[in-house]
Chains A and B, each alone.
Chain A
Amino acid sequence: MKLTLKIWRQPSQNVKGKFETYSLDNVSEHMSFLEMLDVLNEKLSFEQKVPIAFEHDCREGICGTCSLVINGQPHGPLQGTTTCQLHMRNFKDGETIVIEPYRASAFPLLKDLSVDRGALDRIIQAGGFISVSTGQAQDANAIPIEKDVASHAFDAATCIGCGACVAACPNSSAMLFTSAKVAHLALLPQGKVEAQKRVLNMVRQMDLENFGNCSNITACEAECPKGISVSNIALMNREFLSASFSSNDAN
């Protein structure tokens, strides 16, 4: 395959960025999108040029480190897939591919395609955990949880925190991410204990991080590589409403 790549280059946050056009030959359709970028970077290094900065880690679709907005879509055109699991067979020979970083004020740009998603970590630090040790994994049926509830909690827990929801949202809202974390813990008995405090603190932190507000556009759900449902946002709204009016927190 021969590709034309329009890639956003920006040395650092305070320097103006622009698109650079590269052409890449002999791209195998079996390569992942990141492997294709690796090949481009090798070529750039060989030509004594600065390689393109992009984030990656597990390359198995489970860590949430890879990002990229490919032809206007976070994680590219394939639904339910991270960039690292997107293969070049999904593109056509001779195609021009536009690669941009996630755009959101809460995700300051570090370099080229790499952005700082620390805001999501700070939301987790505000309450996305259970304070006490819950010990070893329980026997499968030791804690009675209805199958549907367990499945719902599991579906929410598959959120890998990649931030595609924020990148896709025209308002750069982090509601889908935050709600997935809130729902995952609130649905299980271990998480119920701190449910009220958790939702209040996590929403408060989310608001402090300059994310936008949810307009129920659902672009987040459409682009989420894990297919997290916006029904989690409704669940978080219910949790937040009830916690605001009935928790022991005077503030």
Chain B
Amino acid sequence: MSWMTNALKPIGLVWFANFLTSSIGKKLLMSLSGLFLILFLPVHLIGNLQLLTKDAGVSFNLYTYFMTHNPLIKVVSYLLYASIILHTIQGLLLWRKNKKARGNIGYAVSALRGDGTNVKAASNMAWLGIIIFVFIAVHMYQFWLQMKLGKVAMVMIEGVEYKNLYDPVILAFSNPGFVVFYVISMIIIGIHLNHGFQSSFQTLGLNHKKYTPFIKYIGRIYAFIIPFGFAIIPIIVYGRNNLWW
């Protein structure tokens, strides 16, 4: 009996606990939390693209104000934090379980091949995920936490005071080391998404001759475009700071 079974027993949901703690249930949680994060990324990207408008940060600061004050966004943001934590912890637990299932002795010759998947990405999701988690932690500390703790300066936009997140972001993007770290992290996210996108549909049981080839196609496009969109921003900002363009 798992702790979840004990927790859900008094409310008559033993079956639900058994479902969630089954191998398929665990993967389903990975899939759903992953899909939610996949949905979130384009929204985040649209916001980040405001950094590129040449208005001294007005549209970006208005966007960050909206993101921190809209009640609906607030609810979604808590769901988002929960998804990141769930996806990370569950992923690490599954990784440990899978390593144990494989045993102590590996194959002397490795010849991993797959069918219609990128096996290198697929079999390294945990490592890719750990790097992404480190990136998210740095990212949250650097931008999100400073914003929440109110450690950012204020700026006047049309007579109203707003938090100025634009300047610290532009400052961070003027550090070449940070730009490289950011871009590499985006490549890692792209590889993770390349497998994760189509894998999440398969786990949900959504495999169909008519739709699966399309899902795989969209997944590959998505895994390229979204990280590319994120990565191009610090590069453009860095170039502008150094008067390359």
A residues within 8 Å of B by Cβ? Answer: 6, 17, 19, 69, 71-73, 98, 100, 103-106, 168, 170-173, 175, 203-204, 206-207, 210-219, 221-223, 230-231, 233-238, 240-241, 244-245, 249-251
**Interface-centre pick from A212, A217, A230 (highest chain B CB count, 10 A):** A217
B207 adjacent to A235 (CB under 8 Å): yes
Q: How far is the CA of A104 from the CA of B99 in the complex (A)?
A: 10
Q: List CB contacts (< 8 Å) of B110-161 with chain A.
A: 110-117, 119, 122-123, 125
Q: How far is the CB of B217 from chain A (nearest CB, A)?
A: 16
Which of A103, A237, A244, A250 contacts B204, CB < 8 Å? A237
A219 adjacent to B102 (CB under 8 Å): no
B25 adjacent to A171 (CB under 8 Å): no
Q: How far is the CA of A72 from the CA of B25 in the complex (A)?
A: 31
Q: How far is the CA of A251 from the CA of B205 in the complex (A)?
A: 22
B122 adjacent to A223 (CB under 8 Å): no
Q: Which residue of A lies closest to B117 (CB)?
A: A218
Instruction: List, in ascending order, chain A residues with CB within 8 A of B25's CB.
Output: 244
A241 adjacent to B205 (CB under 8 Å): yes
Instruction: List, in ascending order, chain B residues with CB within 8 A of A171's CB.
Output: 98, 101-102
Which of A72, A172, A223, A245 contacts B109, CB < 8 Å? A72
**Interface-centre pick from A6, A175, A215, A249 (highest chain B CB count, 10 A):** A215
- Which of the segments B11-19, B35-43, B60-68 contacts the partner chain? B11-19
A215 adjacent to B111 (CB under 8 Å): no
Instruction: List, in ascending order, chain B residues with CB within 8 A of A100's CB.
Output: 107-109
Instruction: List, in ascending order, chain B residues with CB within 8 A of A233's CB.
Output: 202, 207
A104 adjacent to B103 (CB under 8 Å): yes
Q: How far is the CA of A24 from the CA of B16 in the complex (A)?
A: 58
**Interface-centre pick from B18, B100, B113, B119 (highest chain A CB count, 10 A):** B113
B113 adjacent to A219 (CB under 8 Å): yes
Q: List 5 A-B contacts (CB under 8 A).
A: A72-B111, A72-B112, A213-B97, A217-B119, A219-B112
Which of A6, A218, A240, A249 contacts B115, CB < 8 Å? A218
Q: How far is the CB of B91 from chain A (nearest CB, A)?
A: 10
A211 adjacent to B117 (CB under 8 Å): no
Q: How far is the CB of A97 from chain B (nearest CB, A)?
A: 10
Q: How far is the CB of A178 from chain B (nearest CB, A)?
A: 10
B202 adjacent to A251 (CB under 8 Å): no
Q: Mark contacts of B90-106 with chain A using CB atoms, 8 A cut-off: 1 yes-contact digit, 0 otherwise.
A: 00001001101111011
Q: How far is the CB of B25 from chain A (nearest CB, A)?
A: 7
Q: Which residue of B lies closest to A70 (CB)?
A: B109
Instruction: List, in ascending order, chain B residues with CB within 8 A of A168's CB.
Output: 112
Q: How far is the CB of A90 from chain B (nearest CB, A)?
A: 14
A210 adjacent to B101 (CB under 8 Å): yes
Instruction: List, in ascending order, chain A residues with CB within 8 A of B24's CB.
Output: 203, 236-237, 240-241
Q: How far is the CA of A130 from the CA of B204 in the complex (A)?
A: 27
B108 adjacent to A173 (CB under 8 Å): no
Which of A19, A73, A212, A216 contacts B98, CB < 8 Å? A212
Q: How far is the CA of A210 from the CA of B101 in the complex (A)?
A: 6
Instruction: List, in ascending order, chain A residues with CB within 8 A of B111's CB.
Output: 71-73
Q: How far is the CA of A221 from the CA of B15 in the complex (A)?
A: 31
